[in-house]
Chains A and B, each alone.
Chain A
Amino acid sequence: MSNGIQIHVNGEARGWRSGGTVADLLQELAIRNERVAVELNLEILDRKDFDQRGLKDGDRVEILSFIGGGC
């Protein structure tokens, strides 16, 4: 990877390619877009912007979804 950058995904450091978008990241992680929420540097992204938002060196990405829970 020539333009390698480092990002944090769910708290873990991860190499990434410069210019790759949030949608690319989800695809690489085999996460379906529907019913996940993505927070980029504490900003919650609109799902329709996933393929617009490029990731930069040092970005912190949180990917969340629904799990079993009660009260």
Chain B
Amino acid sequence: MATNDRLTIAGHEFRSRLWVGTGKYKDFEETKKAIEASGADVVTVAVRRVNITDRSKENLLDYIDPKKYTILPNTAGCYTVEDAVRYARLARAAGVSDLVKLEVLGDERTLFPDTAGLIEAAKILIKEGFIVLPYTNDDPIVAKKLVDIGCPAVMPLAAPIGSGLGIRNPYNLKIIMETVKVPIIVDAGVGTASDAALAMEYGADAVLMNTAIAGAQDPIMMAEAMKYAVDAGRLAYKAGRIPRKLYATASSPIEGML
């Protein structure tokens, strides 16, 4: 990708438009290799209790150097405003920045966001100086509200987390991209490379995924595929696609024919 095509969010500059999660890998070695193959420079992590009975376990950050990658902690697993705020504060205390990927989930089966709770939690955290990147529904009105209260980017889902269904509501995503004047990171639901390319062609500023890579039969190869997909989609978006027409237009001239 062109080195000048950087994504900037609240003063943080990102080289890669593919962001990746670090969950569900076989081991840390595979996590590291997949992230390297993806070219991502933003990686999401969760915040959990340290295992105090088995200290032989290695630490994720021994494999993913926080000097090389932007570590983006999430509040995954939180179903209430209180829990999400608590985990965000813990993440800040454990980490190095004010960035948080805010999730307030509404339902265990779909893992869809509780958007009312999301807005409430975002307000609290923004007041405390957090840079809140909210995981939200593909709802243009909620996306606008999140921006109005001070979120410097929004992260609408393509489909339920881990579902691999691809972009279920491209028209809503397009409306969000047209109406919201902050970076849009399509988050969750990507199944394969074409889903990621499509999100970027629609005009997403970045794509975040985890399961699509970690759950593939060859995660490292899929990570590489996603890198090309995101780059190709971005270039196609910037290049400007041709309009769709119902009938053919010949590419070879008629002149000079016998």
Instruction: Give A residues with C-beta under 8 Å from B.
Output: 9-12, 29-31, 35-39, 44-47, 62-71
Contact = CB atoms under 8 A, between A and B. Distances in A.
Contacts of B74: 69-71
Contacts of A70: 20-24, 44, 74, 76, 161, 208-211, 214
A68 B24 contact: yes
Nearest to A30: B55
Interface in B87-145: 89-91, 93-95, 103, 111, 135
Interface residues of B, number: 44
Contacts of B59: 35, 65-66
Contact of A69 (B44, B49, B93): B44
Contacts of B45: 66-69
Contact of A62 (B49, B61, B71, B211): B49
Contact of A64 (B25, B49, B188): B49
B1 interface: no
B95 A35 contact: yes
A66 B46 contact: yes
A37 B31 CA distance: 23
Interface of B: 20-25, 28, 31, 44-50, 52-53, 55, 59-61, 66, 71, 73-74, 76, 89-91, 93-95, 103, 111, 135, 161-162, 187-188, 208-211, 214
A65 B94 contact: yes
* B interface: dominant SS: mixed
B54 to A, nearest CB: 11
16 contacts: A30-B55, A35-B95, A36-B94, A44-B93, A63-B50, A66-B61, A66-B91, A68-B22, A68-B60, A70-B21, A70-B23, A70-B24, A70-B44, A71-B103, A71-B187, A71-B208
Contacts of B46: 66-69
A66 to B, nearest CB: 4
A41 to B, nearest CB: 13
B76 A71 contact: yes
